[in-house]
Amino acid sequence: MARILVAPSILSADFGRLGDEVRAIDAAGCDYVHVDVMDGHFVPNLTIGPPVIAAVRRATQKPLDVHLMITNADRYLEAYASAGADLICVHAEASPHLHRSLQTIRALGKKAAVSLNPATPLEAVRYVLGELDMVLLMTVNPGFGGQSYIHAVTAKIAALRQEITARGLAVDIEVDGGIAPGTIAEAAGAGANVFVAGSAVFGAKDYAGAIGALRAGAEAAWQRRAT
């Protein structure tokens, strides 16, 4: 079974108490802290930049999974790496020189990932899979938390897992958007193993309970895959 990882998205946290919120998901057993960076150009929303990531870095030792939904990502890779990102994810749709971006991320000593929007075919990552630690398949259109899981992406998750297995690679598949107890089994059953959840964690009273329920749902689906 691939390692199941739960990555709460701080986009749904209370930004007025961000340090406390990050310490709370850390104590609640998250594996990664997922940080959504939006620029108002690639996606229709604006969020946070390197200084906030540096503040999150001071609140936890857990790996920071930084999802860049920005154009001109190359210009900022070093700033996000220095701010404390452990894993840096760029969007294929916003990266004209994707292979070079991934080489830069790795040269900075960070794990490299590529994200695909729901409508972007897997072909966009086929020739860079060997440069990757993770592929992030968006299961909503990026920009906002609290949207509904797009079921058409499930077939894309399955096709990617099949290709990774066939090529003998060790690449994680992360899904992001609309992941909740009611949808996680579908994504995990298709072969996703890293799960971003914003509203499903921060909208719950009990963060540990929410993270535990997601993990249990994903693990059960992976057990069924194996049998």
Q: Summarize as ranges the residues that interact with Zn ion (CB under 5 A).
A: 36, 67, 176
Interface positions, 64-93, toward ligand DX5 (CB under 6 A): 67
Are 44 and 143 in contact by the 8 Å Cβ rule? The answer is: yes
Are 211 and 29 in contact by the 8 Å Cβ rule? The answer is: yes
By beta carbon distance, the residue nearest ligand DX5 is 198
Are 210 and 200 in contact by the 8 Å Cβ rule? The answer is: yes
Interface positions, 166-205, toward ligand DX5 (CB under 6 A): 176-179, 196-200
Verify whether residue 39 is a known catalytic residue. no
Instruction: Say which of 36, 39, 133, 172 is annotated catalytic.
Output: 36
Contact window for ligand DX5 (CB under 6 A) among 9-17, 103-111, 127-135, 181-189 = 9-17
Q: How far is the CB of 210 from ligand DX5 (least distance, A)?
A: 11
Binds 11: which of ligand DX5, Zn ion, none (CB < 5-8 Å by kind): ligand DX5
Q: How far is the CB of 179 from ligand DX5 (least distance, A)?
A: 5
Identify the H or E element spanning 158: helix 153-166
What does the chain come to in residues? Answer: 227
Verify whether residue 65 is a known catalytic residue. no
3-state secondary structure of 55: helix
Packing angle of the helix pair 18-27, 50-59 (nearest 10 deg): 50
